[in-house]
Amino acid sequence: MTAVVLFIQSCDPARILIVRSSNKPNSSVAIYANKNFRSIADADGKEKEQVVIKIPTNETPVKRDTAFYFGFGGWAEDESMPEFSRKIDSIIISNNSSKIILNKQEDINAYLLKHRRGLFKQVLIIKEK
């Protein structure tokens, strides 16, 4: 008699936000968020009131991906996504031919929901097109 052992490991994937910009001239992605987005301190150790993520930065004007991790599980449409999108004040995506400005919560939430990827919808990608 052969014994079969079934081992099931429960492992939720990490929720990831990827901010991506190409190396095209005048292309960038900027996210303006409140202090609940990420706990980032100034050089003096005081927590910042606003978080600004801009890709590419002035120091790295080439194609750049920056990833941020936000716990485990997918970006659920009815749970984690609305909570996360409330932490973002605006998203500005620009290139030579256009500029998209999202500054209403409904628009930010809809954009983020549309840009979920992965088997468990665990990856959000905000990118310049």
53-65 pLDDT per residue, tens = 888 766 555 557 7
The two tokens of residue 125 are 């990608």
In a domain, 1, yes or no: no
In a domain, 7, yes or no: no
In a domain, 6, yes or no: no
Q: What is the pTM of this model?
A: 0.77
In a domain, 114, yes or no: yes
Percent over 90 (pLDDT), the chain: 19
Give which of 54, 57, 126 is closest to 85, Cα–Cα: 126
pLDDT at 39 over 70: no
pLDDT tens by residue, 46-93: 556 778 888 876 655 555 778 888 878 778 877 778 888 889 999 999
Band of pLDDT at residue 111, cut at 50, 70 and 90: very high
Q: What contacts 29, CB < 8 A, 6 or more positions away?
A: 19, 20, 21, 53, 54, 55, 91, 92, 93, 126, 127, 128
In a domain, 88, yes or no: yes
In a domain, 5, yes or no: no
Sheet holding 88-94, edge to edge: 50-55, 28-34, 88-94, 99-102
Q: What contacts 38, CB < 8 A, 6 or more positions away?
A: 51, 68
pLDDT at 32: 92
In a domain, 42, yes or no: yes
The whole domain housing 30 covers 14-127
In a domain, 8, yes or no: no
pLDDT at 6: 47
Number of domains in the chain: 1
